[in-house]
Amino acid sequence: MKNINAFKSNPESRDARAILEWALGKFTPKRLLLASSFSIEDQVLTHLLSGLEAKARVFTLDTGRLFEETHAVMRATMERYELAIEVYAPFETDVEALVSDGGPDLFYESVEKRKKCCEVRKVRPLKFALSSADAWICGLRREQSQTRTELEAVEWDEGNGLFKINPLFNWTEKDVWQFIRENNVPYNKLYDEGFRSVGCAPCTRAVREGEDVRAGRWWWESPEHKECGLHKSPVKGKGA
Ligand code: SF4
């Protein structure tokens, strides 16, 4: 098994499988969780994990506002990899209070209200899911947005109090698609309609030629606000 410093010292590393193997050796597999939103990146990771002997758990957050196409690829993924995916939903009382107070589409009214919705539908369920983990695996890539340019293979996630593993930190979108095509990995059909990142239905749209990958997420907000609270800036340098 490689030392994690090999990935840190080689900024060109794209060996996602080796990073996953390192993580599975470093952490108890039952306490290592892959967070999947069924993005093309997460599908690459699910595919790679399925080929490894030790298995991390796979979970998803069903916000209650997902596209039908996302549920379709979830079904296809469970079948293809014979995988039990853990599903975490928002707490019912939180959603009732959120919608009673702000209405079903409060997120269009202000960044603050949008973040409140993400907090209820994503961040709180995520914290609950991660309470049974020592590390989580994500499909983040540096080139996805201006908020992710300094991503590392392994980071300390201060907000959630555990390690975050980013095996695709250095992959390009082209690398991801090449892997998907070569391995016939199931993917969300919305990508064929111009989507380049898929989140909740009311907050995601297709992007135009030349636009940023995440331009279709919360398109009414400015780029520096475009995170949902799941991926806050990490603390660098804490050794795994
Ligand atoms: Fe709510 Fe939109 Fe955030 Fe989904 S992406 S949790 S609908 S604000």
Mutation probe of ligand 1 site: the residue of 121, 217, 225 with most atoms within 8 A of C-beta:
121
The residue among 139, 140, 132 whose CA lies nearest residue 161 is: 132
Give the confidence band of 125 by pLDDT, cuts at 50, 70, 90. very high
Tell whether the model's pLDDT for residue 233 goes beyond 90.
no
Mutation probe of ligand 1 site: the residue of 60, 99, 106, 107 with most atoms within 8 A of C-beta:
107
**Mean pLDDT for the stretch of residues 175-201:** 96
200 lines ligand 1 (CB under 6 A): yes
126 lines ligand 1 (CB under 6 A): no
138 lines ligand 1 (CB under 6 A): no
Percent of the chain, pLDDT > 70?
88
| Protein residue with its CA nearest to atom 5 in ligand 1 | 200
Burial class (CB in 10 A: 0-12, 13-18, 19+), 91: middle
Domains observed in the chain: 15-225 (3.40.50.620)
The dihedral of CA 172, 213, 191, 197: what is its sign?
Answer: positive
Give the number of other CB atoms < 10 A from CB of residue 100: 8
Burial class (CB in 10 A: 0-12, 13-18, 19+), 184: exposed
125 lines ligand 1 (CB under 6 A): no
CB 97 within 8 A of CB 125: no
Cα–Cα distance for residue pair 75/58, rounded to 1 Å = 14
Tell whether the model's pLDDT for residue 77 goes beyond 80.
yes
**Mean pLDDT for the stretch of residues 115-141:** 97
Query: Which residues are part of the catalytic machinery?
Result: 228
Instruction: Tell me the pTM.
Output: 0.90
| Protein residue with its CA nearest to atom 1 in ligand 1 | 117
